[in-house]
Amino acid sequence: MMERGKVLVTGAPGWLGNRFIEILKDNKRDVICLVLPGMNSDYLKKLGAEIVEGDITNPETLKGVCKGIDTVFHIAGLVHVPFSKGSLFMKVNYEGTKNILDEAIGSKAKRFVYISSNSAVGTNERRDIMMDEKTKPNPYMNYGKSKIMAENAVNEAHKKGLIETVILRPCWYYGPGQPARQTRLMKMIIEGKAPVFGDGKNLRSMTYIDNLCDAMLLSESVKKANGETYWIADDKPYTTLEIYQAIADLLGVELKTKKFPGFLADVAKTADGLIQAFGLYQIEAHVAGEMNKDIACTIEKARKELGYRPKIYLEEGMKRSIDWAKKNGQL
C-alpha cells in the first residue's frame, strides 16, 4: 500500500461524489472538491472539504487546482442530458477528462483515478461469457464512445510515463442518494408497471455505491494498480426479474410487470442511434434500448489485484436505497 496525501475530487456535489467525500472525511483525509461555479457546495463544506470552483470543459478555470495534490479522483461526467444537448457527452466526458488530466500532469499529481462506465465496452456478445478487462470495447452510443475515448486518453498518459493512472468501470449504480430515475423505477414496481422486454432473464451487473467507493480507495493505495483497468460491480450479475423481485419484496408489493416483445427494445436502440446521430438525446429511447441486453462482467481481476471485496449485495443495497427514498419523501 502507498502513502496517501491530499486528494482532489471532481463530480461533487453529486450522487457518487458526495458519498465518496463522506467516506474520505470519515478517514480523516485532506480533500479538495472541484465544483462548478454557482453550484451549492454547503454540504461539502459541512463535511470539511475545501472547495475550489472550476469547469472541466474550460481549461482556463482549472489552472492551479491540482497544485499539491497527490491523487485526483475524476468522477465528473454526464450520463443523461436534456434532449437538445446530446453533443455534450463528448465535450464533458472526453474533452473534460483530457483537461483535468493535463492539469494533474502539469501539477505533478502522483495518480489519476478515472471513473469510467460499462458503456465504454458495450454489451455482452453472449449471455454465458462475462465481459472482462480483455473484452474488445464496442462502446454503447455516444455516452459509451465518450467514455472509451476518455479511457484511451488516460491510458496514453500512463504509457508516456506522465502520471500513474487507474481506470474503474462500474455498472448500474444503486444506493442512497439515488437520482429521480431510480426512484421512478421503484414507483413503477409499486404500480405494477415494471417494464420487461423479452423474458426478463437478461443479466445486469450492478454496483452499490459504497462498494465502488471501496474500490476507489484501493485504486489509490495499491501500487500494482498503476496503469490498470478494473471492472467494479457486485459479486455476481442479476437478471432483470431478480432485480425487480428484490425491490418488490422490500416494498411489500406483489411483482407485476408490463411485458413487451424483446424486439421492441431493439427498435428503441435503433431509434436511439438515429436520434444521437443528430446530436440529440432522448432518455426513454436510450434506456429502453438496453432493456433486453446482457450487461454483465466479472470482477476477478479487481479481486486478485486490488483486493476488492464487495460488502453489500442487492437486497441490503436496495433496502438502504428504499429507506433513503422514503426518508426523503420520494416514496
Taking residues 39-54, report their average pLDDT: 96
Choice among 78-82, 128-132, 262-266, 275-279 with the minimum mean pLDDT: 78-82
Question: If pLDDT is split at 50, 70 and 90, which confidence band does 167 have?
Answer: very high
In contact, 215 and 171? CB cutoff 8 Å:
no
Distance of CA 119 to the CA centre of its chain: 10
Output the pLDDT for position 87.
Answer: 77
Which residues are CB-neighbours of 58 under 8 A, at least 6 positions away?
A: 99
Output the pLDDT for position 84.
Answer: 64
Residue 49 has pLDDT above 90, yes or no: yes
Residue 56 has pLDDT above 80, yes or no: yes
Q: List b or e across 245-281, with b for residues whose CB sees 16 or more CB atoms inside 10 angstroms.
A: bbbbebbeeeeebeebebebbbebbebbeebbeeebb
Nearest Cα residue to 283 out of 75, 85, 15? 85
Output the pLDDT for position 3.
Answer: 61
Output the pLDDT for position 80.
Answer: 84
CA angle, residues 120, 123, 127, in degrees to nearest 5: 150
Residue 2 has pLDDT above 90, yes or no: no
Question: If pLDDT is split at 50, 70 and 90, which confidence band does 289 have?
Answer: very high
Choice among 1-15, 66-80, 124-138, 279-293 with the minimum mean pLDDT: 1-15
Residue 211 has pLDDT above 90, yes or no: yes
Question: If pLDDT is split at 50, 70 and 90, which confidence band does 1 have?
Answer: low
Residue 82 has pLDDT above 80, yes or no: no
Taking residues 143-158, report their average pLDDT: 97
Query: What's the pTM value of the predicted model, to 2 decimals?
Result: 0.96
Residue 86 has pLDDT above 70, yes or no: no
Residue 205 has pLDDT above 70, yes or no: yes
Share of the chain above pLDDT 70, in %: 98
Mean pLDDT, the chain, rounded, equals 95
- Calpha distance 50→92 (Å, rounded): 23
Residue 109 has pLDDT above 70, yes or no: yes
**Three-state helix/strand/coil letters over 20-59:** HHHHHHHCCCCEEEEECCCCCCHHHHHHCCEEEECCCCCH
Residue the block writes with cell 465496452: 121
Domains of the chain with bracketed CATH: 7-174+205-234 (3.40.50.720)
Output the pLDDT for position 81.
Answer: 78
DSSP state of 84: G
Output the pLDDT for position 279.
Answer: 85
In contact, 44 and 21? CB cutoff 8 Å:
yes
Residue 83 has pLDDT above 70, yes or no: no
Name residue 112's beta-bridge partners.
Answer: 72, 165
Share of the chain above pLDDT 90, in %: 91
Output the pLDDT for position 280.
Answer: 85
